[in-house]
Homo-oligomer: A and B are copies of this chain.
Amino acid sequence: MSQTFDYENLFDFVLHVFLQMGCSEEHAHLATEVLLSADLRGVDSHGVARLGGYIRLWEAGRINATPTIKIIYETPSTAVVDGDAGLGLVVAPFAMQVAIEKAEKAGTGWVSVKNSNHFGIAGYHAMMALPRQMIGMAMTNASALVAPTFSVERMLGTNPIAVAIPANNEPAFVADFATTTASNGKLEILQRKNQEAPEGWVQDAEGHTTTDANALKSGGAMLPLGGDREHGSHKGYALGSIVDIFSAVLSGASYGPWAPPFPAYVPMPENLPGEGLGHFLGAMRVDAFRPAADFTENMDNWIKRFKAAKPAAGQERVLIPGDPEREMEAIRRKEGIPLFESVVSDLKGVGDKMGVLFRG
């Protein structure tokens, strides 16, 4: 059961919630735009469904609504940003802007971020590079839910990677994916519907693959992309580790099993090795490699060639990364954003708590 809401109405509601938290006008607008970009693009797990979670972290004193976000270390092509425990939704765009400015001058810019929080969808930040004719990259570490290959311990988050690459007449290539077999959002949908998970998504407390979508509630763990060793889970484990190290070890954030948990009711791990959550943002000017027109013309050709690849039996077409999300955004801007009843009721609760009317 779901109800549909206009983007503008949701925007207005979320904006006022962030303002009531004490965010500045600028931060509240930005945080709202980033959060809702997930709902528009169909990544429902990372949009308004998480607003209540952010509020609870703020109530628990883990999110600072009025952060002083700043560069604390830099070279011509790199920087480390301290997010001052602010919303990742505003810290990450700040850091991406630094990466873009570095890239303007040095060809590329790479920014590692510490002392931040959940930053919404990685794709938003990577896509900031596109209008500047740059390739954008964004990654983040996250609450530990994933067991390394051969292990039963939750050591890594779903640690997503986003890469946005501009084209000319074709829409941009935008990959944005968790380094696990399936995202936590997809698992949550199965839990809500009381359905089983495909094999290879989660394992039980002994490390055996299981179809129990609720396995994490009894000591289980999510699995790295690949699922098991025979199908390359050591590659997903390596990818998740690289994201963790670039985001948190390079910056001085808390890494691996020490990453701050998103649910406010989960106590912070002890003996933290760093500060807050970490992100890694990158920007590469296309014309730092070859004339931008040559590159984007080749990208158009790349995209057209891959779209024209022969479909498998029973398939209509081959997709370019970013196609489904872009098509979803076009639909939802026109027809509205559907929200599950449980999300609507959670948002009403947030509204009551923060003194903002949620209009259905």
Which A positions have Cβ atoms within 8 angstroms of B? Answer: 73, 75-78, 80, 105-108, 110, 112, 147-153, 155, 163, 165, 173, 175, 177-182, 198, 200-201, 203, 206-208, 225-227, 230-232, 234-239, 241-242, 244-245, 249-252, 255-257, 273-274, 284-286, 288-290, 294-295, 298-299, 301-302, 305-306, 309-315, 317-319, 321
Contact = CB atoms under 8 A, between A and B. Distances in A.
A290 B79 CA distance: 9
Given A288-B78, A298-B273, A318 B232 contact: no
A77 B103 CA distance: 9
13 contacts: A76-B76, A76-B106, A77-B108, A149-B319, A151-B315, A155-B306, A198-B231, A201-B231, A208-B312, A231-B231, A245-B299, A249-B302, A255-B298
Contact of A289 (B206, B250, B301): B250
B208 A305 contact: no
Nearest to A286: B250
Pick the 6 closest A-B CB pairs, nearest first. Answer: A207-B312, A75-B107, A175-B238, A78-B107, A78-B288, A150-B315
Contacts of A284: 78, 110
A342 to B, nearest CB: 25
Contacts of A289: 73, 78, 80, 112, 250-251
B75 A288 contact: yes
A191 to B, nearest CB: 17
Given A110-B284, A181-B226, A290-B251, A306 B256 contact: yes
A147 B235 CA distance: 19
A250 B319 contact: no
- Copies of this protein, total: 2
Contacts of A318: 148-151
A77 B284 CA distance: 10
Contacts of A249: 295, 298-299, 302
Contacts of A182: 231-232
Given A163-B242, A225-B236, A321-B241, A312 B150 contact: yes
A321 B245 CA distance: 13
B313 A255 contact: no
A271 B112 CA distance: 42
A245 B165 contact: yes
Given A232-B225, A242-B175, A150 B317 contact: yes
Contacts of A236: 225
Given A76-B76, A77-B108, A177 B288 contact: no
A26 B180 CA distance: 43
Contacts of A106: 75-77, 106-107
Contacts of A245: 165, 173, 299, 302
A346 B30 CA distance: 62
Question: Among A180, A208, A250, A319, which residue has the most Cβ atoms of chain B within 10 A?
Answer: A250
Given A175-B238, A245-B302, A294-B252, A181 B112 contact: no
B315 A207 contact: yes
B225 A235 contact: yes
